[in-house]
């Protein structure tokens, strides 16, 4: 898809389709009034007759409108003008793309960028238009023998800006939108791959391949023998039940000053989670291929940052394993020793994500990080608490919490803070080890983060539980690519101070 920005009146666009917003209560937007004036009241007559009310989701496709140079004009209802927020803006762009895919138009001039979105500027609107368009157009058909193709696919979008003074700002937004969309789609592709293809070795090869595409990115792999030498007994206790060897993927993007302490992202990479000896129910187990979406998001974020050549230092650490019920798999009641030297009683082998993350979090200390953020599909309890809208956020550092909450609001990829109080730590007590790997029935998301917090005392750390947002079930089953948008926005915000 080609994206660009341009200034100019809608009636002068010689193009396949011009997209114009209309607001609730039949209120015309600025571009709609311009079209109405040159067409001798054609738009206002249609609105007066009730052809389009302007409610959110309304559409009306017009052909060969008088005194315009475009082939079509698509009117899109946007709801009440004062109520349009980031989520509404996304829905409006989604409606646009869904309609245009069957319209026959291939080149589009969008005037949706004139919509007033609360506290958002033209740069935000261009960037997020691209993200919404790519989200709507995304299809995973790599493994289908017959790939469905649109007869006349969309191939170019031009976004309207107010005058030449906004062109450079708009062009920069196009770069950001395209890079972030590429990172999101990469995370989706990795998440959607089945477990028999997307193994720990496959993930390692994809991370290595990405490094060949960017000069300032290097990828290295720790094999099981390397992890044994480092004492990563928690991680290895999970991988030993599978014939697929575990890996520790280290991605180093170094574009900042050498003195700049890096941001470290740690992504949970369980490429298939059977639950181990604590076997999961069969229904829906196919979705456990998505248990590596934390890892996928780390690769996606680094891809976006490298594409944008952001002047920062980022480390991506991805512990990746399969969790399988082999004869030598960990049993409930086993005690293992983590890289930190702390011992863990495994009461439930299906609480394996925290076992691989704890060793990765200890390993992160060697990079002397500014902050560490781990991303994991960690607990079903997070879905119960927050549903499918925000990711759960827990942290030992309030400024980091504020930065992530702000990035979530700005990107539309939101998170919500849960408490990390000392009171919850008692639930992890064990009679036989330093801690248990589960904390009982109550507050499962919080006690999982409490477990991880015991390995993060030497740096500022945040945990994102993405169990509710990493993929969708049902007829729209598939990876979402979240929270690539949130984390890339977090890095972009940091770059303002670089």
Question: pLDDT at residue 137 above 60?
Answer: yes
pLDDT for 290: 98
Q: In which band, very low, low, confident or very high, does the pLDDT at 150 lie, cut at 50, 70 and 90? A: low
Handedness of CA 253, 131, 141, 293 (dihedral sign): positive
- pLDDT (tens digit, 9 = 90+) per residue, 89-99? 999 999 999 99
pLDDT for 165: 87
Question: pLDDT at residue 110 above 90?
Answer: yes
Question: pLDDT at residue 210 above 80?
Answer: yes
Are residues 395 and 484 in contact, defined by beta-carbon separation less than 8 angstroms?
no
Q: Please tell me the distance from the alpha carbon of residue 308 to that of residue 300, in angstroms, as a whole number.
A: 12
What is the bridge-based pairing of β-strands 334-337 and 343-346? Answer: antiparallel
pLDDT averaged over the chain? 96
Report which of 304, 89, 298 is spatially closest to residue 176, judged by C-alpha positions: 304
User: Which residue is catalytic, options 72, 176, 354, 494?
Assistant: 354
Q: In which band, very low, low, confident or very high, does the pLDDT at 85 lie, cut at 50, 70 and 90? A: very high
Cis peptide preceding 19, ω within 30 of 0: no
Cis peptide preceding 163, ω within 30 of 0: no
Q: Please tell me the distance from the alpha carbon of residue 475 to that of residue 267, in angstroms, as a whole number.
A: 27
CB half-sphere exposure, 98, CA atoms < 13 A? 14
Q: In which band, very low, low, confident or very high, does the pLDDT at 497 lie, cut at 50, 70 and 90? A: low
- Coil, helix or strand for 456? coil
Q: In which band, very low, low, confident or very high, does the pLDDT at 250 lie, cut at 50, 70 and 90? A: very high
Q: Please tell me the distance from the alpha carbon of residue 108 to that of residue 35, in angstroms, as a whole number.
A: 16
Tokens of 230: 């480092």
Q: What percent of the chain has pLDDT over 90?
A: 96
pLDDT for 325: 96
Question: pLDDT at residue 498 above 60?
Answer: no
- Coil, helix or strand for 388? coil
Are residues 293 and 271 in contact, defined by beta-carbon separation less than 8 angstroms?
no
- pLDDT (tens digit, 9 = 90+) per residue, 17-70? 999 999 999 999 999 999 999 999 999 999 999 999 999 999 999 999 999 999
- Residue whose structure tokens are 């939108």: 177
Are residues 207 and 186 in contact, defined by beta-carbon separation less than 8 angstroms?
no
Q: Please tell me the distance from the alpha carbon of residue 118 to that of residue 116, in angstroms, as a whole number.
A: 6
What is the total residue count of the chain? 498
Tokens of 242: 């599978």
Q: Please tell me the distance from the alpha carbon of residue 34 to that of residue 65, in angstroms, as a whole number.
A: 12
The DSSP secondary-structure symbol of 246 reads P
Give the mean pLDDT of 224-246.
98
- For CATH 3.40.630.10, the residue range(s) in the chain are 180-495
Give the mean pLDDT of 270-289.
96
Give the mean pLDDT of 334-344.
98
- Coil, helix or strand for 278? coil
Q: Which residues contact residue 82 at a Cβ distance below 8 angstroms, ignoring those fewer than 6 apart?
A: none
Would you list the DSSP string of 317-359?
EEEEEEE---TTS--TTEEEE-TTS-EEEES-TT--HHHHHHH
- For CATH 3.40.220.10, the residue range(s) in the chain are 2-140+153-165
pLDDT for 146: 83
Q: Which fold has domain 2-140+153-165?
A: 3.40.220
What is the bridge-based pairing of β-strands 263-267 and 247-254? Answer: unpaired
Tokens of 216: 């300032």
Q: Please tell me the distance from the alpha carbon of residue 469 to that of residue 326, in angstroms, as a whole number.
A: 30
Q: Would residue 354 show up in a list of annotated catalytic residues for this protein?
A: yes
Q: Please tell me the distance from the alpha carbon of residue 14 to that of residue 31, in angstroms, as a whole number.
A: 15
Number of DSSP helices (H) and strands (E) in the chain, helices first: 14, 21
The DSSP secondary-structure symbol of 413 reads -
- pLDDT (tens digit, 9 = 90+) per residue, 284-308? 999 999 999 999 999 999 999 999 9
Q: What are the CA-CA distances from residue 33 to residues 38, 91, 95, 96 (Å)?
A: 9, 23, 21, 19
| Chain centre distance of CA 137 | 16
Which CATH architecture does the domain made up of 180-495 adopt? 3-Layer(aba) Sandwich (3.40)
CB neighbourhood size of 387 (10 A): 10
Tokens of 209: 């391949």
For residue 485, list its beta bridge partners: none
Q: Would residue 188 show up in a list of annotated catalytic residues for this protein?
A: no
User: Which residue is catalytic, options 205, 280, 454, 458?
Assistant: 280
């Amino acid at each position: 898809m080609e994206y660009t920005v341009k200034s100019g009146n809608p009636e002068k666009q010689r193009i396949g389709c011009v997209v114009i917003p209309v607001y609730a209560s039949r209120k015309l937007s600025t571009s709609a009034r311009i079209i109405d004036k040159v067409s001798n009241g054609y738009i206002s007559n249609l609105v007066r007759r009730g052809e389009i009310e302007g409610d959110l989701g309304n559409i009306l496709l017009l052909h060969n409108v008088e005194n315009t140079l475009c082939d079509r004009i698509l009117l899109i209802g946007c709801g009440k003008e004062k109520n349009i927020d980031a989520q509404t803006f996304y829905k409006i762009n989604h409606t646009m793309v869904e309609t245009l895919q069957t319209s026959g138009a291939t080149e589009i001039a969008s005037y949706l960028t004139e919509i007033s979105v609360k506290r958002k500027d033209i740069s935000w609107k261009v960037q997020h238009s691209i993200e919404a368009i790519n989200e709507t157009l995304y299809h995973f058909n790599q493994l289908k023998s017959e790939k469905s193709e649109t007869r006349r696919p969309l191939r170019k979008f031009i976004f309207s800006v107010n005058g030449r003074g906004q062109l450079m700002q708009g062009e920069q937004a196009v770069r950001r939108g395209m890079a972030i969309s590429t990172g999101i789609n990469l995370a989706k592709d990795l998440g959607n791959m089945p477990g028999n293809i997307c193994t720990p070795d496959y993930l390692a090869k994809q991370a290595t391949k990405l490094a060949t595409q960017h000069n300032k990115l290097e990828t290295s792999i720790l094999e099981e023998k390397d992890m044994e030498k480092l004492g990563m007994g928690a991680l290895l206790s999970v991988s030993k039940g599978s014939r697929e060897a575990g890996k520790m993927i280290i991605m180093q993007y170094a574009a900042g000053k050498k003195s700049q302490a890096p941001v470290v992202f740690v992504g949970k990479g369980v490429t298939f989670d059977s639950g181990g000896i604590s076997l999961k129910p069969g229904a829906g187990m196919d979705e456990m291929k998505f248990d590596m979406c934390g890892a996928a998001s780390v690769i996606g974020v680094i891809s976006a940052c490298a594409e944008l050549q952001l002047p920062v230092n980022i480390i991506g650490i991805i512990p990746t394993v399969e969790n399988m019920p082999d004869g030598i798999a960990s049993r409930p009641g086993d005690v293992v020793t983590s890289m930190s030297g702390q011992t863990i009683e495994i009461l439930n082998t299906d609480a394996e994500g925290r076992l691989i993350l704890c060793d990765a979090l200890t390993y992160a200390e060697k990079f002397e990080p500014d902050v560490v953020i781990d991303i994991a599909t960690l607990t079903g309890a997070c879905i119960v608490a927050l549903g499918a809208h925000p990711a759960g956020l827990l942290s030992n550092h309030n400024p980091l919490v504020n930065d992530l909450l702000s990035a979530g609001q700005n990107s539309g990829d939101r998170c919500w803070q849960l408490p990390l109080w000392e009171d919850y730590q008692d639930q992890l007590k064990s009679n036989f080890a330093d801690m248990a790997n589960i904390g009982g029935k109550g507050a499962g998301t919080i006690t999982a983060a409490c477990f991880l917090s015991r390995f993060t005392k030497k740096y500022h750390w945040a945990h994102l539980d993405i169990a509710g947002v990493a993929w969708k079930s049902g007829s729209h089953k598939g990876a979402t690519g979240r929270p690539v948008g949130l984390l890339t926005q977090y890095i972009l915000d940091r770059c303002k101070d670089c």
